[in-house]
Structure 1
Amino acid sequence: MGFKKLGRIGFMLALALSVLSACAVVPGTSSKQGSGKDSGKPFKGTITMYAGDYSPNKIVLQNDKKATVMQTLADEYEKKTGVKIEFIKGLPADQDYMTWVRTKAAGGQLPDIIWSQWYDANSALAKGTLIDLSPYLKAKNPYADNTPWNQLLNSQIMSETKAPNGSTYVINGDYVGTATFYNKEAFKKAGITSFPETWSAFIDACKKLKAAGYTPFAWDLASSPTGMDRITWLARLFYTNFYSDEYDNLMFSGSETMTNKDQVIAIKKGIFGPENKKWMALWPIIKDFSSYWQKDFTGSDSNGQGTMLAFLKGNVGMYFDGSWAAEQIKSAKPSFEWGSFKNPYPDKATSEFATDFDSSASIGGPSAGFQYAVPSQKANNSLTPAKEKAIVDWLMFITTPKHDEAIVNELGRDVPTIAGAKPTAPLSNLSDLINQPLKSIFGGINLEQKEQDAIYRAFQNYILGDISLAQFGKTAKTEMNKTADQMIKDNHWDLSEYLDK
């Protein structure tokens, strides 16, 4: 989430067209990235791709949709260019993907294209594993009326997912968001005529739903992954807003994202924790919010679907979920019309610590299925300059508005990000999220599972009235500092330069 980025790389090599192939040839940088000499001949052969969620041969779980569009486009591309796209089979459930990537890279055996989260590409993989795609970005996309590629790719996302050195390793085509799903019939009966953008407007909507005879909100307070996830969602929504003006200063270690080390420093400096009124302000707000939850909000999790099941019954006005839930709700065929809107953010009517920053995008980001990177010749011994150009050409082919929309919307779980591509109707109100800054602050409550569990148990007791806010704060402080101290010890961190100031 680098907000102190280097300037854009302005260099672009000339576009060359080959009369020997229908494949459009884009400028390459292979001689600088270790893939050998360019023979000048167009590539003829097969490009291998690990396409992740959008792979046509991905192992499909129960109730999941099978992806078919990528194969259709691959067949069309082969007819146009003579280049075949071969999709690598998904890994077994018990095999760690990043371990597989590192192992294959070490032996020069990675596929020509891999799925990679931008933050893994920027920092977790060894230097030189992936090709810097920056020099290609200004090239014209022959499959989109020769529009420069960087005008099709979302500029906000591409800018903020660059590596600290300015390199672009990942091409993005989708965005996973979170949203407030709502019952349109309930909103109409309650007289709610517009989406609540701020938290105070959201609470007002809860009041109207309650007055109209609906349960305003379905919430899960059970000790379950879903229950704990949702509290970290609210923490991000509020803390990202509350600390927005301090965001860059909280990147103590100089990373482009807020790392665990940064969170530890913030805890030890008292920025995160109950001694800071800003940090403590969240919890009474949630307790007030709990008065609008269903009566059995401490009940079982129903395998992570409890709140959705409550919503589907028709007597609940709203609930939080990920963009991936849209297809599940649609498949359930509820008896009422429904939709979604981006999560409301804190405002001054909610807290004195609220800023003007819209933190709706803090829960989600460009980290879904359409994140593709190109391994270097070091990590993929089969790479040649001609093949590199063909790989980029294929990436251009699948990042036209029409093709991106078809790929992403087939599964209906995420929002397409290519300019001109539109999401499915249930996710249409989330389109603006892709243009928001990539800021996200957890507030130090998620460093380690034991810490999170202990804080969550104290939070449950606070919501239920079994302990006071001060008692909750005491537990949170103890757990956060204990975890921070252990991480300092385990990682041999010398934080004196940050803590002695």
Structure 2
Amino acid sequence: MRMSPIKKMFFVFLGILLVVALAGCSGINSTSTTANGKFKGTITMYAGNYSPTAVLQANQKPATELKKLADEYYKKTGVKIEFIKGLPASQDYMTWVRTKAAGGQLPDVIWSQWYDANSSLAQGTLQDLSKYYKQPDPYADNKPWSSLLNSQIVSETKAPNGSSYVLNGDYVGTATFYNKDAFKKAGITTLPETWSEFIDACKKLKAAGYTPFSWDLASTPTGMDRLTWLSRLFYTNFYSSEYKQLLFTGNETMTTEDQVIAIKKGIFGPKNKKWLALYPIIKSFSQYWQKDYTGGDSNGQGNMLAFVKGNVGMYFDGSWAASQIASAKPSFNWGSFKNPYPDPSTSQYATNFDSSASIGGPSSAFQFAVASQKADNTITPAKEKAIIDWLMFITTPEHDQSIVNELGQYVPTVKGAQAIPALKNLSALTNKPLNSVFGGINLTEEEQDAIYRAFQSYITGDVTLNQFAQTCDTQMNQAADKLIAQNHWDLSKYLNN
């Protein structure tokens, strides 16, 4: 039976529609080039907290700087930047990234922590950016792009194969926030750098009528976090000369397996006097805390709320707290300084190593990665070149500074960019090694909870140091055994040496 001309035209038209639809599904029509080979079209970007489309929590400040820069970039280049809407809190981000990448539908630029990019994502998901670092940045007088980036962070966040998958532009720091007016009244003229100087400041604040320090000992995430913060601060200092030897498995930084090995070798744990020495120091420190330190902490902000009232001299918090303190508009002048590290006057096990950078790092919001063609089937050589150009545009000192300081939660890391005044004293941390020794106290949730409960009882005087030590020994070895079994680790080559 012969097909009529009308039917033939219908099926030809249907075929054209099908081809167009398939092209749209595969992302083909989102990529095109001009006659001179330049990319023309849209770059998609999942920009995390700095995105103008981020899902905001209560009282969270919206980000606008990236949108302004995207508009400016479009005027300069004709390339549009489309910001992918943020995921709801109920959706796991890494699962979303893996799913999108498996289907070749990952956005062109994504937010990623460097350690996830190096170990959690399948090899070949992201582009190695290091091949572009020597290229001139047209938005910074054609200086090599690498000359603008923090060389310490670039070096320490490389993957084991030497690739750099994540572009860094900010740093999350932890700090001691302090009441400048209280310091002046107490006669404290220099900011403490060592733990001995910090305790001396506590004594002076107490004598001047202030609560020296606000601490949360309740069973809350904030309470547990602050204990792990201090463990890192002290153990990174105590074990600084042994750090490379503690990297048993050969990774750049200490892994969970390394910690398990250290426990089984007796390096971590209460049978080692160096390890146990931290806890009497904290107990001595507790005499300077507020009287109700065992109470709840108001959704994780109790210490900050106590601080902004004006009768507390100091407290520990992350750099993100600066914007929260500012919004509370306290009646006094305030600032922050890097956390004080232990010194030989603090403990016989302390070294001269400044461990202030052991809590925090380049793991905040300006960590962007570029999808590979395998993970994003719209990538072409021309589009990849345009993506790198966009990233160069947003990593000039002035642009990095405007993006990061708009939220006021982190420290910009591009050379020449300045932090907000409240975080200025944390800028030096961005050039410190990413060494961090946890000491094996938070391998599993069960272990951390049990050790924290015992720690509470030790601080309040309900159990002795020896009783606390027994709990730690039991819990740490149980957690280590559990992880060995779960991961099928054969540690004989480490433990028999």
Output the TM-score relative to the length of structure 2. Answer: 0.93
What displacement does 1:183 show?
0.4
- Alignment correspondent of 1:329: 325
Task: After superposing the two structures, state which structure 1 stretch, 256-265 or 43-52, moved more.
Answer: 256-265
Output one character per residue of 1:91-135: Cα deviation in whole Å (capped at 9) or x when no partner.
121110110111111111100000000011111111111111111
Residues 447-499 of structure 1: per-residue CA shift (max 9 Å, x gap): 01110000000000000111111110110000000010011111111110011
Q: 1:196 aligns with which of 192, 198, 211?
A: 192
The answer on whether the counterparts of 1:39 and 1:386 sit within 8 Å (CA) in structure 2 is no
Runs of 4 or more above 6 Å deviation: 37-40
Report 1:291-330 matches (<5 A): 291-330=287-326
Hey, what's the Cα distance between the residues in 1 that align with 2:134 and 2:125?
A: 23
The 1-side partners of 2:143 and 2:60 are apart by 35
Alignment partners' CA distance in 2, 1:231 and 1:472: 14
- SS at structure 1 position matched to 2:315: strand
The CA distance in 1 between the partners of 2:168 and 2:486, in whole Å, is 35
Query: What per-residue deviation string (whole Å, max 9, x for no partner) do you get for residues 396-426 of structure 1?
Result: 0000000000000000000000000001111
1:193 deviates by 0.3
Match of 1:17 in 2: none
1:491 matched to 2:487? The reply is yes
Secondary structure of 2:177 counterpart:
strand
Question: What is the identity, as a one-letter code, of the residue corresponding to 1:148?
Answer: P
**1: distance between equivalents of 2:217 and 2:396?**
43
Q: Which residue of 2 aligns with 1:21?
A: none
Alignment partner of 2:43: what SS? strand
Q: Alpha-carbon deviation of 1:248?
A: 1.1
Say whether residues 1:179 and 2:175 are aligned partners: yes
Aligned residue in 2 for 1:366: 362
Number of the residue aligned with 2:263: 267
Matching residue's letter, 1:165: N
Q: Counterpart of 1:164 in 2: which secondary structure?
A: coil
Q: Contact 1:169–1:373 at 8 Å: present in 2 too? A: yes
Out of 68, 73, 98, the position equivalent to 1:72 is: 68
Question: Is residue 38–residue 385 contact of structure 1 (8 Å, CA) maintained in 2?
Answer: no
Gaps of 5+ in 2: 1-30
Match of 1:221 in 2: 217
Q: Distance in 2 between matches of 1:151 and 1:316?
A: 42
Q: What is the Cα deviation at residue 257 of structure 1?
A: 1.9
1:464 maps onto 2:464 in alignment: no
2: CA distance, partners of 1:298 / 1:146: 57
**Which of 38, 53, 57 is equivalent to 1:57?**
53
- What letter is aligned with 2:88? P
Deviation string, structure 1 residues 257-295 (Cα, Å, up to 9, x no partner): 211111110000000000111100100000000000000
Contact 2:335–2:422 under 8 Å retained in 1:
yes
2-structure distance, mates of 1:429, 1:39: 51
Distance 1:47 1:317 in 2: 48
Q: Which amino acid aligns with 1:268?
A: K
Determine the C-alpha separation between the residues in 2 that align with 1:175 and 1:114. Answer: 17
Q: CA deviation at 1:38?
A: 13
Q: Which residue matches 1:482?
A: 478
Q: Secondary structure at the match of 2:292?
A: coil
Secondary structure at the residue paired with 1:419? coil
CA distance, structure 2, for counterparts of residue 122 and residue 486 of structure 1:
25
- Say which of 83, 88, 103 aligns to 2:84: 88
1:434 aligns with 2:430: yes
Which deviations, in whole Å up to 9, do the C-alpha atoms of 1:3-34 show, x marking residues without a partner? Answer: xxxxxxxxxxxxxxxxxxxxxxxxxxxxxxxx
Matches within 5 A, 1:225-304: 225-304=221-300
Distance in 2 between the 1:481 and 1:98 partners? 30
SS at match of 2:361: coil
Residue 183 of structure 1 contacts residue 336 of structure 1 at CA under 8 Å; is this kept in 2? yes
1:353–1:82 CA distance, 2 compared to 1 (3 A): same
The superposition leaves residues 152-184 of structure 1 with CA deviations (integer Å, 9 ceiling, x where unpaired) of 000100110011111111100000000000001
Whole-Å Cα distance in 1 between the matches of residues 101 and 311 of structure 2? 52
CA distance in 1: counterparts of 2:36 and 2:207, whole angstroms = 72
Q: CA deviation at 1:40?
A: 6.5
Contact map agreement 2:37 2:382 (CA 8 A) in 1: yes
Give the aligned length: 466
**Any conservation in 1 of the 2:34–2:40 contact (CA below 8 Å)?**
no
Aligned to 1:450: 446
Equivalent position of 1:165 in the other structure: 161
Q: CA deviation at 1:355?
A: 1.3
For the Cα contact (< 8 Å) 2:157–2:164, is it kept in 1?
A: yes
Q: Which has the larger Rg?
A: 2
User: Is the contact made by 1:361 and 1:436 (CA closer than 8 Å) also made in structure 2?
Assistant: yes
Partner of 1:4: none
In the alignment, what sits opposite 1:12?
none
- Alpha-carbon deviation of 1:353? 0.9
